[in-house]
Structure formats: structure tokens, C-alpha cells
Structure 1
Amino acid sequence: MPEVVSFTAPGNVALVPCDAAPLVPGSVRVRTWYSGISAGTELTAYRGSNPYLSRTWDAERRLFVEGQPTFAYPVVGWGYSEVGEVVEVADDVPEGMAGPVVGDVVHGIWGHRSEAVVPAAAVRDRVWRGGDAVSGTFARVGAIALNAVLAADVRLGDRVAVFGQGVIGLLATRVAVLSGAQVVAVDALDRRLDAARAMGAGAVVAADAPGGAGAVVREWSGGGVDAAIELSGSDRALHEAVRSVVVDGTVVAAGFYQGGAAHLRLGEEFHHNRVRIVASQISGVPGELRSRWDQPRLVRTFMDQVRQGRVDVRSLVTDVVDAADVATIFARLDRGDPDILQAVLRFPAAPDDP
């Protein structure tokens, strides 16, 4: 019987049985090998802090409003970084170049589940031909990182600060370097700062540096960086990012911020330096790029860099655990285990050697 990860209540997550989905016209059945955990987003379900769990998302007005929560526990099938093998193809899906075939290894979004039925078109261009299937789980998080760098309008010779060196922050550091920027990475953990250096950061700054990381970044850059990208989801880090940029500089707020923003003081550097804060979220690309960029292009571009060996995503994987052990890995993530960078769930169909 298929299985799926279910958040049953705050602090509770388990792998539970589920019904097999029927194969419908235009679809394929994919048996999951690996599914990457996006800790920032998924911990909001684990902790109960996601706004969808407490308020109504009015899609037409694009507002959160008081009322019945948009969804409630159990929260089933979260996850957006999957790799698996096509095991069944609907009769109307063209063979060969026009559609995926049985045996193809594909990456996509179908949640932490042992198998899924997905539209053939959704995975047609996502056949993974790299040597390491686990690397395919980075498609979505890589696209998020690239989207943030595009929002920062990074150009050759720019000085860029990346606040937060979790997985997406490390990928943003690497993408910014590949774009020609001089990058300074900020984080609280030495291990992550070491990883940032490996990704090409020219300098690193401790998040708790005396006087604030923003002031240290300003000194490193000789008066402020051209842009800062904040990916930790901390309002304190967002404030330091604002402090770090030049007059009329840009701060990209790409973290998933929870609760209030007591440490973001808009009457200080933000006001006096005319700082521009822009949001970056994977549901859309920067407005000025919409005629040329979309989510599929973000994914293709990032994964091409992985295939070419220009982004070493495999070095970020610290934990590959059986999906049945999902509760243990989320407990470690919840308490901020410093030894975890990227955790990946392994399903029974996966090859023996990840």
C-alpha cells in the first residue's frame, strides 16, 4: 500500500498508509526514490505557525482574513523536491521524445509520498540524466535561490551579502558568485560559513558580530553592498540586511517570516538610506522579467548548472533517512540541530546506494 507523510498536529508527523491514485488520461505513475525536506516551509506545518492554519487565504483578494483556516490538520503530502522512477504511463501519452516512458527517472513536485500520479507534461522536461539521483531533489530549492538572485538584479562586479546560509542561502551564494558578484555570507553557525566559502563566498561574517552583522558587511564592502539577500526568515537578520546596503540599495526578503517583526526598525537605516525592500517568492518571478522568465526556466537554468558541475548540491546533503523515520528528522530540525544542512527522505523503491 502507498504511504504519505502526514503532519497530524503541531509536533507530530508520521508516515501513514494512503490509497493508490488511479492512472488517468495524460498522466504517469511515479514511484518515489527521494524527497528533499525544505525545512523553513515545512517546519511551519510541524510547528503550527503557517498562516494557512490560522487564517483564511482569500485568493481573489489576495489577503489573509479572519475566518475558517484555509487548511487544518492533518496536513498531508507536503514536500516539493521529489525524484522517482516512472513505472506506468497512460495509454494516451505519446512515446519517446514527446512523453516520459517507463524507466525514466524524473524530478518534480508531488509531495512526500511513496508514489504519485502526475500529469505527463509536468515531468516531460524533467528527466534526470545526472549520475546522482539525490541531486534531483534540489530543483525547487535551487529555483527559489535563483529567483532571489534575479530579484537582487545581480550584475558582474556587484558586491552582494547573503544573510542565512541554510541550503537555499548557500545555493543563492553560489548562484550570485556564478553571476559575477563578490559575495559575503552571513550566518550564526561556523559549519555553514565554511560551506559558504566552499560555494565561493569571498568573505564570511558571524550573525552575532559585535555592532551587528550589517555594520561589519558595510566595512567589508567599503560603504555598503549593492544588494543583500535575506534567506533566514529572521526579522533581526532582515534588519541587518537593511543596514548593510548602500544608499538606494536593494534588500531581497526571500525568507518565510513568521510572526511579527520587532527587530525591523524602519525609522533608522531603511528610512535614511532610502533602502528598497522587495519580496521574492517562488510563485512569481521579478516583474520586469515576466516576459522572459517563468518557473520552468528557473528550474531548467539551475539544474543545468548542477549537471555541468558548477553547483555542487550533493555536498549539502548531510542526512538521507528512511521515510519511516520522518518524525526523528523533523524533531532534529525543530530543535535546530547544527549538523543538518539538507535532509532527504528515502523511500523503499530507491536504489540501495544514494
Structure 2
Amino acid sequence: MISGQSIYFTAPGRVTIRSEMLAPPGVREVLVQTTLSAVSSGTESLVFQGLAPENMQLDANINSLRGNFRYPFKYGYACVGQVTMLGPGVDNEWQGRRVFAFNPHESHFIASLDALIPLPADLTDEDAAFLANMETAINFTHDGAPLIGESVLVLGLGVVGMLTLAQLARFPLTHLFALDRYPLRREIASRLGNVQVLDAEDPAILSDLHNALAAHGFASRGADLVYEISGSPDALNLAINAAGYNGRVVIGSWYGRKKSVLDLGGAFHRNRIQLVSSQVSSLAPEISGRWTKERRLALALQALHDLHPGEWITHRFPFTQADQAYQQLVLRPEESFQIVLTY
């Protein structure tokens, strides 16, 4: 048997580390020793605060995330590690290979080969830790389908919002605006290229986002495309009001059990606004005949190589100090961009 440790969410505001014994890897399985794992600033913040729906599956598409959000449970989906033991039927070339896995925060875990993503030699562990969120950002871009010359707005510059903004900055758009309340995030976004970044707590923006954007040069007709990635249900009304006639609003936020009160009697009704639900577990139906998850992941790896988001890591905590990491995430979000656990 192999000794390992795992982080368990045991109650709202509480995590514990438990020792576990793992059986040796089976046929076409390997043992992975984790070196780094990224803490999700959106989903794991909700999980830690007890705001995830208890009866909802952790993720029906990932074998390591079976079960639901009923305590106690393991969670996390961004592990970087090294293969240290091979099961029967596994080629020796896997020994010592660096890999990424959609796996909870654990010091060691058993994984099938098809659950692992081999990492290029020139991609650092820190950059690789952003792979899950970069795949999500690419999925948002696919679902929004920005066109040349469009005006686009991103609400929320957490990790996924920032990665989405980085992808949109590569498009020949007429306008690209982003809003966030935290100066640290706005400073990172300002380095991404031709982006105008505004303070989401500016009174003019809160009272009339449409006209506030127009005053900064944004198209007076409203946005062609808006991304709501703030994690705040209240921001969805801002997104709807910022969109122009027949504009698209891509909802990338997962609100958990937080409720949203929508105003659908004004701009939404008259302007025929389209609300698009976007979730990375599946591909947009209109591209599913040509795109696969493997193709999307390959694109995400290349995007990480080009962007180097590992530079955005603000905090590193030893795995044994996971409780402090989550306290940092929830209590001091203004200074916490990407938190990682080290092993």
C-alpha cells in the first residue's frame, strides 16, 4: 500500500488533511506525486463557504470528482505532478513524466493514462497549473464567438476572467473593455494589450454602465458581446444593460446557491438580448463536429506557453497549510489573485 494525504472539505469554513492508503496502480494506471496544485478562486471559494448545492454532482465528467457537495468531500481540479510508479501495461516512457490532472488536492493519487495530460518540457509547473482555467477561457471564447470589429465587455477579472480577456485581446476588435473592483486585477489586465480597464465600483458605472462606457469611447449602441465572469449574480443585470440590440451575454459565472434577481422588463425585453450559458464540461454544439476536448486542451497548452500566467501567482502555501490558503482566498480577495499549494 502507498501512503498519501488528501484535503477534505468537512464543513463551511473548514478543511482538514487526512492520511489515506492507496493500492498500487492497476492495469494502465500510474501513481502521480503532486508537486503543485492551483486553488480555484471562484468554485473553491463557494465550496469553502458552503455555498455549493449539496445535491449537485462534483463533476459527472471527471472520474476523480464523483459524488456530490455533501460534507465531507475532496475537491480541486488543477494538479501538476510527476509519475512515480507504473502499473501493468504502462510503457516505461511514462516513468518520471510531468503531467496535469483534473484531480482533487492530494499528495499522491492513482490515475488512468487517459486521465493525464503530459506536459511539454518548456512549460513550467506554475504555468501548467492554469490549464483547467485556460481551457475554460477558450470555451468561453468559443461560446461567445467574437467577430472582427465587434465591441466586447468582460465583467470580472478573476483568473478565468483574466485568461478570457487575454484570449479576446488577440482578436481584431473595435473595443475591448473590462471591469473589476480590485486594483491588483486591473493592473494585471492593463498589461494584456489593447484593453481599457475600468473600476467596477465607479459610481457612474454602477448607476448607468451603458452611458459610462460610451463616455470612455465604447460604442454608444452598446456591446455586441458581454461576458459575465464576476461570480456575482448582481452583475448579470449590468451585463444585460450594457449589451446592444440582439447582443450576446455569455454567463460564465457559477453562482452556486447565490440567487440572482433579474430585471427583464426593460433593456432585456426591448433589445432581444441573448443569454448564453457556458460551461467547460462540454463543447459548444455548433463546433462539436470538428472540435474535441483533446483539441481544445492542446490549444490551451499553447496559450499558456504564449502567455506565462504563472507570473500572476500571488500566494504559495504548503499543502499542510491549506486552511490558511482558503482563509486568504475568502477573507482577502483584493490581494489574492492565484493561490497555489506546494507539496
Equivalent of 1:343 in 331, 339, 342: 339
Equivalent in the alignment of 1:351: none
Give yes or no for contact 1:323–1:346 (8 Å, CA) kept in 2.
Answer: yes
- Could you tell me which runs of 5 or more consecutive residues in structure 1 were left unpaired when the two chains were aligned: 61-68, 348-354
Q: Residue 149 of structure 1: CA displacement?
A: 1.2
Hey, what's the Cα distance between the residues in 1 that align with 2:219 and 2:151? 10
Pairing of 1:58-69 with structure 2 (within 5 A): none
Hey, what's the Cα distance between the residues in 2 that align with 1:185 and 1:201? 11
Hey, what's the Cα distance between the residues in 2 that align with 1:81 and 1:172? 18
Hey, what's the Cα distance between the residues in 2 that align with 1:21 and 1:180? 52
Equivalent of 1:158 in 130, 150, 160: 150
Q: Residue 126 of structure 1: CA displacement?
A: 2.4
- Could you tell me which runs of 5 or more consecutive residues in structure 2 were left unpaired when the two chains were aligned: 61-66
- Normalized against structure 2, the TM-score is what? 0.90
Equivalent in the alignment of 1:66: none
Distance 1:236 1:267, change over 3 A: same
Equivalent in the alignment of 2:268: 270
Hey, what's the Cα distance between the residues in 1 that align with 2:209 and 2:320? 40
Equivalent in the alignment of 2:80: 83
Hey, what's the Cα distance between the residues in 2 that align with 1:28 and 1:156? 45
Q: Give the secondary-structure state (helix, strand or coil) at the position aligned to 2:245.
A: strand
Hey, what's the Cα distance between the residues in 1 that align with 2:194 and 2:16? 38
Pairing of 1:291-302 with structure 2 (within 5 A): 291-302=289-300
- Please report the RMSD computed on the Cα atoms of aligned residues, expressed in angstroms: 2.0
Distance 1:71 1:222, change over 3 A: closer
Equivalent in the alignment of 2:197: 204
Alignment deviations for residues 298-320 of structure 1 (CA, whole Å, 9 cap, x no partner)? 2210111222x2x1311211111
Equivalent of 1:42 in 41, 44, 48: 44
Q: Flag as ranges the 4+ runs of structure 1 deviating above 4 A.
A: none
Give yes or no for contact 1:249–1:275 (8 Å, CA) kept in 2.
Answer: yes
Q: Give the secondary-structure state (helix, strand or coil) at the position aligned to 1:330.
A: helix
- Normalized against structure 1, the TM-score is what? 0.87
Give yes or no for contact 1:165–1:192 (8 Å, CA) kept in 2.
Answer: yes
Q: Residue 107 of structure 1: CA displacement?
A: 1.0
Equivalent in the alignment of 1:189: 182
Give yes or no for contact 1:146–1:172 (8 Å, CA) kept in 2.
Answer: yes
Hey, what's the Cα distance between the residues in 1 that align with 2:179 and 2:27? 49
Q: Residue 342 of structure 1: CA displacement?
A: 0.4
Equivalent in the alignment of 2:113: 120
Hey, what's the Cα distance between the residues in 2 that align with 1:199 and 1:126? 28
Q: Residue 143 of structure 1: CA displacement?
A: 0.6
Say if 2:172 is the partner of 1:172.
no
Equivalent of 1:315 in 302, 311, 316: 311
Q: Residue 214 of structure 1: CA displacement?
A: 4.2
Hey, what's the Cα distance between the residues in 2 that align with 1:250 and 1:145? 16
Q: Give the secondary-structure state (helix, strand or coil) at the position aligned to 2:152.
A: strand
Distance 1:153 1:332, change over 3 A: same
Equivalent in the alignment of 2:63: none
Say if 2:96 is the partner of 1:93.
no
Give yes or no for contact 1:6–1:75 (8 Å, CA) kept in 2.
Answer: yes
Question: Which residue identity lines up with residue 299 of structure 1 in the other structure?
Answer: L
Hey, what's the Cα distance between the residues in 1 that align with 2:77 and 2:172? 29
Alignment deviations for residues 247-274 of structure 1 (CA, whole Å, 9 cap, x no partner)? 0010000001142112x21112111111
Hey, what's the Cα distance between the residues in 1 that align with 2:85 and 2:185? 41
Equivalent in the alignment of 2:95: 102
Hey, what's the Cα distance between the residues in 1 that align with 2:24 and 2:264? 53
Equivalent of 1:332 in 328, 333, 336: 328
Give yes or no for contact 1:184–1:201 (8 Å, CA) kept in 2.
Answer: no
Equivalent in the alignment of 1:352: none
Alignment deviations for residues 67-104 of structure 1 (CA, whole Å, 9 cap, x no partner)? xx94421112x1111100011112202344xxxx1111
Equivalent in the alignment of 1:255: 253
Give yes or no for contact 1:205–1:217 (8 Å, CA) kept in 2.
Answer: no
